Amino acid sequence: MIIGTAGHIDHGKTTLVKALTGVDADRLPEEKARGITLDLGYAYSPMTDGSVLGFVDVPGHEKLIHNMLAGATGIDYVLLVVAADDGPMPQTREHLELLDLLGLERGAVALTKCDAVDAARLAEARGEIEALLAGTPLAGSPLFALSATTGEGVAALRRHLEAMAAGHTRRDTTGRFRLAIDRCFTLSGIGSVVTGTTFSGKVGAGDTAIIGPAGGPEIKVRVKTLHVQDRPAQSGQAGDRCALALAGDFEKKDVARGMWLVDPAAARPLARFQAEIRVPATQPALKHWTPVHVHLGAADITGRVALLDCAEVGAGDTALAEILLDRETLAVRGDRFVLRDASARRSIGGGRVLDCFPPTRHKRSPARLALLAALRDDDPAASLKLLAEQSLAGVDLGRFAANWDLAADAAATLWQTAGLRVVAAGAQQLGFAAGCWQALGERLLAALAAEHERAPDMIGVERERLRRLTLPTLERAAFDALVAELLAAGRLAAARAWLHLPQHQASLAAGDRDLFSVLKPMLDAQAFGPPRVRDVAKASGTAEDIVRQLFRRVARAGELYPVAHDHYFTADAVSQLAVIVAELGAEQGAARAADLRDRIGGGRKVAIHILEFFDRIGYTRRVRDEHILRGSGASHAWLNNN
């Protein structure tokens, strides 16, 4: 269990930690010379059961709140220190307010310097503390009157802390490893070491991790060795204070307090997040677009607060907001943070992260606000259900899992429990609610029916155009899966590159059929490089405009393809070309214009037109100068219908 001190300057926090552990947590020469704590201090003390009590000692000066917050975010238990002679002071109250904003609800009070006051003052101080804690999460916390210098009462506090540690429930370790870095230093013979509190997951010797955000390329490291609660260990987990010796291509100056050491899958930098915020009852209202210091993890980042569901947040009230940061950080849903004013003199609010991947539009729509309200629930299933119902184009499940810090196994179980239709789209996974998936199918069929009515002489609609008609934001992989299901169910039919309703048929008029039978042999003679419209017209003695209009009608019926402007290929030729492109892809990983030209003959320009045509209809996709077959299922379906 990690215990954090809190309280006003010179109330004896560091002296008390030394009395409890035997360790002087003031490590800086300046601290020892001035007799005040300037930065975070750490002390560890073994217990009889073999476990270790860890202490984070924080500075009490009002100008060092940023250091206090860097240590307070990772503690399990609060030790509020109040001197009997002074009683509660400004930083006592501010620290207590900050602990409340950070959601820390378990703790005890150490009433120090009892040897310096009489019984009347001691009773008066007790009353002041009781009044101070009333209405806060620490109300009713046990109070220990003691003197850290004489040792009176210290043993009773120690026994209490050991009892609390024995009953302490370790944090859940199912998430991905995340450690908030609060120190980085170099040790001779060991190298670079970072320390911090592990927020989630597990880490072990030999693991790879990322330090970030680095303001540049990711810093990839390997954990060489580690200490947990100041003892050598093979692994550490959520709730542990860890010191990790790292190997990697970086220097000490590249790492600073406020950065994170995380599992590579958790390295998703963000510059804004949406959150639930609360303004303390002692503070004035918080207005929209207020400049702030955001304390999250061990970081202090400037930014602004954009309110989403109100114009201002009154004292003691809560609201939904977007926090916009001036530099990137890492976070997950549920992380606590504190807001201080632009001058860093007052703590004006705090809250919990709700969504690390907020939309850029419609942030204040009723649907969006309803989703943020659902994200307040600690059960991810509630927000997933609502999000899936709102997302016709599917939920990005990778982002959802990252936001909730879900490991792969837990995420897969959640998708199954939620009854999602999961579609793989490259490295991405999309999840669809059953109702949304059915609605997409109906939209697709309705779009086809409308196109058949608009153009009854067309054989159908090309895949990519039908995807845009169905839902422009729908990923191609999801559309292909939807089409495959409708084809298998007999509700949809395919003819070469076109999709159509099973009952729809397109045919040429008798006159068009007769003229095309005369002109088609000219196209067949040079299947992979047929003459253009003007050349067909000239060779046949038919007016160019008549040939152009005829070819357009034949293409609508599915027997020709407009590969380029006024350049039509027969359906048989395109089918053969599709096979050749697939073969090039299988042999070389992609089709290139030069390779296609060598395979079919003719000029490079024609080969480029052919590949661009396949890109256009969705058979391939262009990556620089290469053309890669799209999902194999879609490609095979296209080939099988030719």
Tens digits of residue pLDDT in 50-90: 889 999 998 877 777 888 888 888 899 999 999 999 999 99
Higher pLDDT, 272 or 39: 272
What does the pLDDT average to over 167-177? 89
Separation CA 210–CA 228 (nearest Å): 19
pLDDT at position 509 is: 84
Return the HEC string of 527-583: CCCCCCHHHHHHHHCCCHHHHHHHHHHHHHCCCEEEEECCEEEEHHHHHHHHHHHHH
- What pLDDT does residue 632 have? 47
Residue 156 has pLDDT above 80, yes or no: yes
What pLDDT, on a 0 to 100 scale, did the predictor assign at position 465? 93
Tokens standing for 42?
């750490």
- Rounded to whole angstroms, what are the CA distances from 437 to 382, 419, 486, 571? 19, 11, 11, 33
Distance of alpha carbon 608 from alpha carbon 593, whole angstroms: 5
Beta-carbon neighbour count of residue 584 at 10 Å?
21
Give pLDDT, residue 62: 76
For range 423-439, the mean pLDDT: 94
Q: Note the helical H segments in 40-81.
A: 65-72
- Residues 29-49 have a mean pLDDT of 83
Neighbours of 260 (CB within 10 A): 26
**Alpha-carbon torsion, ordered 584, 588, 589, 595, to 10 deg:** -50
- Least confident segment among 62-76, 271-285, 391-405, 615-629: 62-76
Nearest to 153 by CA among 143, 163, 162: 143
More confident residue, 530 or 26: 530
- pLDDT tens for 252-306 read 899 999 999 999 999 999 999 999 999 999 999 999 999 999 999 999 999 999 9
Instruction: List the structure tokens of 571.
Output: 């359906």
Mean pLDDT for 149-172 is: 93
- pLDDT given for residue 588 in this prediction: 92
Give 324's strand partners: 272, 304
Does residue 631 register a pLDDT over 70?
A: no
> Confidence class of residue 372 from pLDDT cuts 50, 70 and 90?
very high
pLDDT band at 443 (very low <50, low <70, confident <90, very high): very high
Q: What pLDDT is recorded for position 353?
A: 98
pLDDT at 352: 97
Task: With H, G, I as helix, E, B as strand and everything else as coil, classify residue 8.
Answer: coil
Q: How far apart are CA 315 and CA 558, in angstroms?
A: 69
Strand order in the sheet with 52-57: 41-46, 52-57, 2-6, 77-83, 107-112, 143-145
**Residue 172's pLDDT band (cuts 50, 70, 90):** confident
- Domains with residue ranges and CATH for the chain: 2-166 (3.40.50.300), 178-266 (2.40.30.10), 270-355 (2.40.30.10), 510-640 (1.10.10.10)
Rounded to 10 deg, the angle between the 604-616 and 593-600 helix axes is 110
SS3 (DSSP) at 364: coil
Residue 633 pLDDT level (bands cut at 50, 70, 90) = very low
Task: Indicate the SS3 state at residue 58.
Answer: coil
Question: Span 384-409, mean pLDDT?
Answer: 96
Rounded average pLDDT over 362-385: 96
pLDDT digits 0-9 by tens, 303-323: 999 999 999 999 999 999 999
Share of the chain above pLDDT 90, in %: 83
What integer is the mean pLDDT of 117-130?
A: 97
CA distances from 497 to 187, 446, 491, 573 (A): 66, 19, 17, 13
Residue 26 in this model has a pLDDT that exceeds 90: no
DSSP state, residue 391: -
pLDDT at 459: 86
pLDDT, mean over the chain: 93
Q: How many other β-carbons are positioned within 10 Å of the β-carbon of residue 438?
A: 12
Q: What is the pLDDT of residue 173?
A: 86
